[in-house]
Chains A and B, each alone.
Chain A
Amino acid sequence: MGLLVEQVVNGLQFGVLLFLLSAGLTLVFGIMGLVNLAHGSLYMLGAYFAVWFAGMTNSFVLGLLLALAATAAVGVVTELVALRTLYRRNSLEQVLGTFGLVLLFDEAAKVVWGPAGLSLAPPEWLSGQVSVLGVPYPAYRLAVLAAGMLVAAGLYWLVSRTRAGMLLRAAASNRSMAEALGVNTRVLFSLVFALGAGLSALAGILAAPLLTVHVGMGEEVLLLAFVVVVIGGVGSIRGALFGAVGIGLLDTLGRAYLPGLLRGVFSTPVADAVGPALSSMLIYVTMAAVLLVRPEGLFPIQRRAEAGRVVSAP
């Protein structure tokens, strides 16, 4: 029982990290219609900046805050300089353009910080373990879980209860109409992008003490983030939350229990061969199943038809 609880907490914690990463991605993807492969680079930059600033200030929390600000700033500059020109392009050009940015950021990180990985120690007061139903659990992982849930609640409030959130939803469901009603979508998009960059950086910073900070760490998680976005429904924060937690639980529980279950059915060598392969496919099989039943994802955004499409329809 204790083991099951621990695995569920592990899954939730992984899911929350995935949520932070995919929330920004789904906003940018859904609202601005931009397929941003460089989203993972901001995750990486957040982690590198955190190592940098935490080293300078000797404080994890200060490092985290400074790194968030720095990454959001990089995000805004990137949006102004490079991404703004991509909004009206088709997705292939967006993919190519943002992939170029991935290479640029990776190479830049390699030049500045070197190819070897860096470490970020969790704050002293979170480096121990706390007891969860009698099982010692890393305090830092619990803190990540708490921070993620807090941010999720904050985002929910922002999107559904504030004026900025209302404008955001309006622009997401019908951009031309929002523009016609006087919403400055340029400024709105820059803000959304900065928010997305900040969330992605937060995911990177929180993950840094668990992992190593290295070039290419963004690409390792980007695919999963896209899976979450697609399962949850493009543009939907709620979808990202449920998708991320679902994937986190599925992946962790699959890894924990699938090989054992298979051993009950097949002989040990067969189970040992099939188990890891199957558990790594689990996520993608689930995605395919979800898309089969709900092609728009679990929580699709209500889109009002854009004027041009209505006219050109037969």
Chain B
Amino acid sequence: MECIVAPRGRGPDLKGLTMNLRVLAGLGVLVVLLGALAYTTFSGRNEGIRIGFVTTLSGGSAAIGADMRDAFELALDHMDRKMAGHPVTVLYEDDAQNPDVGLQKTERLVQRDGVQFVTGYIWSNVLLASYRAATDRGVFVVSANAGPSELAGKQCTPDFFSTSWQNDQTPMAMGEVLSRRGVKSLYVLAPNYAAGRNMVAGLKRTFRGQIVAEEYTQWPDQIDFAAELAKIRAAQPEAVWFFFPGNYGTQFFKQYAQAGLMGQIPLFSSFSIDHLNLPQIGELVAGSLLTQHWGPDLAYPVNRKFVDDFKQRFGRTPSFYAAQAYDSALLIRTALETTRGDVENHDALRNALARATFESVRGPFKLGGNHFPVQSFYLYDVVKSGNAYDMRQLEKVYTDHTDPYAVDCAMAR
């Protein structure tokens, strides 16, 4: 019987052995191929500027990562792919929106690929897990999106820089606007991770009305908000504010509308409407208010060139994620020009990064003592323009705003 119905996967048999040999041969070929690939990739090592770019290129948030990568590529093309006369190599890595993967990719970029800068980073939890793998080994980190409070305050670190914002700031501007407009009570929702907690904290700093409830949803798994919507309906707040970035925001808006709450209870948000999801939800969110540090309409020459060339090349309007990635390339270039392309003198390069001033897509760029930008924040609304939806600037909420954690940063004192 044993030989008629062979039990699976038990004991060595001849078929299994030839199988193993085939697998071994296959692996051998793979190793040779990879070796060849590595040789061609790394034969240029130690020449020029090497930048690692960690972002999300797979899964539901891949569109954000692609937008950032496209903007970074555009920036390099605008520089003829050189910084301070040296050729630039960029290695893009996918963090799969996962802190463990982000750390792994950062380690690989630093240890194997020998990059001098790592930039990108959409998610605060990914950045917090990853940055020390770079800064501990003398590699500069330039966050092009994530702005966790830790890195702005107590854990601020000399080799970390940001070209975005600290998480609290944009919702702070929103809280200010809501207070001024006389909103008395708010139901607040955000995902349960570093950025979600910061966003809510930021809103609460400036919103002077009553917070009816603070709801933290599961991150990154939760995509259905039926339970939360039922609670909102039962609580009957005067308005709702939420932070769900990217696709999560799209889903929340759609489900809010399906529940019949749109138009019943006014909805405000931060970082949940962007130029990536506007084509999908434009009609739903027309008239919505949001605060932002950048918009495609800001009339600075660098911004015009960025937005126009981006539109022409990729056929879509860049998002704020793209704008920040573009500025991260500009920051690195400005610092390298100050050191005349020298990447060996770490202290000189750090000083150059910290003191860099340049014309960015959001006007004159400067960093505060904790290496986060000091910048203005604007109020926008969503309007229909032609067949599509866009954002329109209404007013400036903050001028030269410094994040509230800078006072806790030893470097900034």
Contact = CB atoms under 8 A, between A and B. Distances in A.
Contacts of B276: 116
B251 A211 contact: yes
Contacts of A214: 59-60, 62-63, 247
A117 B280 contact: yes
Interface string A191-217: 000000000000000000111101111
Given A116-B276, A117-B277, A176 B5 contact: yes
A308 B254 contact: no
A308 B227 contact: no
Contacts of B167: none
Contacts of A140: 258
A115 B62 contact: yes
Nearest to B215: A259
Interface stretch (A1-9, A71-79, A181-189, A285-293): A1-9
Interface stretch (B35-43, B103-111, B168-176, B230-238): B230-238
A141 B223 contact: no
A63 to B, nearest CB: 17
A275 B247 contact: no
Most buried by B among A141, A209, A252, A308: A308
Given A119-B280, A137-B259, A209-B254, 10 more contacts: A3-B234, A6-B230, A88-B8, A118-B280, A122-B258, A141-B226, A212-B60, A255-B228, A256-B227, A311-B1
A15 B5 CA distance: 40
B251 A308 contact: no
A143 B223 CA distance: 19
Given A2-B234, A309-B7, A280 B258 contact: no
A14 interface: yes
A53 to B, nearest CB: 18
B177 interface: no
A98 interface: no
A88 B226 CA distance: 42
Contacts of A219: 59
Contacts of B280: 116-119, 212
B135 interface: no
B221 interface: yes
Contacts of B250: 117, 119, 212
A275 B217 CA distance: 9
Contact of A216 (B10, B59, B281): B59
A307 interface: yes
27 contacts: A3-B231, A6-B233, A114-B63, A116-B277, A117-B247, A117-B277, A118-B280, A129-B260, A138-B258, A140-B258, A209-B254, A209-B258, A210-B224, A211-B254, A212-B247, A214-B59, A214-B247, A216-B58, A216-B62, A220-B223, A280-B192, A306-B5, A307-B4, A308-B7, A309-B7, A312-B7, A312-B10
B8 A210 contact: no
Contacts of A7: 227, 230
A276 B1 contact: no
B66 A115 contact: yes
Given A118-B280, A119-B280, A211 B224 contact: yes
B405 interface: no
A90 B7 contact: no
Nearest to A252: B227
B255 interface: yes
B216 interface: yes
Given A90-B8, A118-B280, A141-B258, A210 B227 contact: no
A116 B192 CA distance: 24
Interface string A67-103: 0000000000000000000001110000000000000
B6 A308 contact: yes
Contact of A312 (B2, B4, B66, B224): B2
A127 interface: yes
A10 interface: yes
A146 B319 CA distance: 40
A276 B226 contact: no
A138 B258 CA distance: 6
A255 B217 contact: yes
B214 to A, nearest CB: 6
B54 to A, nearest CB: 17
Interface of B: 1-2, 4-10, 58-60, 62-63, 65-66, 192, 214-218, 221-224, 226-228, 230-231, 233-234, 247, 250-251, 254-255, 258-260, 276-277, 279-281
Interface string A133-165: 001111011000000000000000000000000
Contacts of B221: 220, 280
B251 A212 contact: yes
A272 B214 contact: yes
A308 B260 CA distance: 60
Nearest to A256: B227
B255 A210 contact: yes
Most buried by B among A106, A211, A272, A312: A211
A7 B230 CA distance: 7
A115 B260 contact: no
Nearest to B258: A138
Given A116-B63, A117-B247, A255 B218 contact: yes
Nearest to B216: A276
Given A115-B66, A212-B247, A215-B59, A135 B233 contact: yes
Interface in A108-136: 110, 114-119, 122, 127-129, 135-136
B260 A276 contact: no
A271 to B, nearest CB: 10
Contact of B192 (A2, A118, A129, A277): A277
Contacts of A309: 7
A307 B4 CA distance: 9
A110 B280 CA distance: 17
Contacts of A41: none
A22 interface: no
Contacts of A14: 224, 226
A279 interface: yes
A13 interface: yes
Nearest 7 A/B pairs, CB to CB: A216-B59, A308-B5, A276-B192, A10-B226, A116-B63, A115-B62, A280-B218
A110 B62 contact: yes
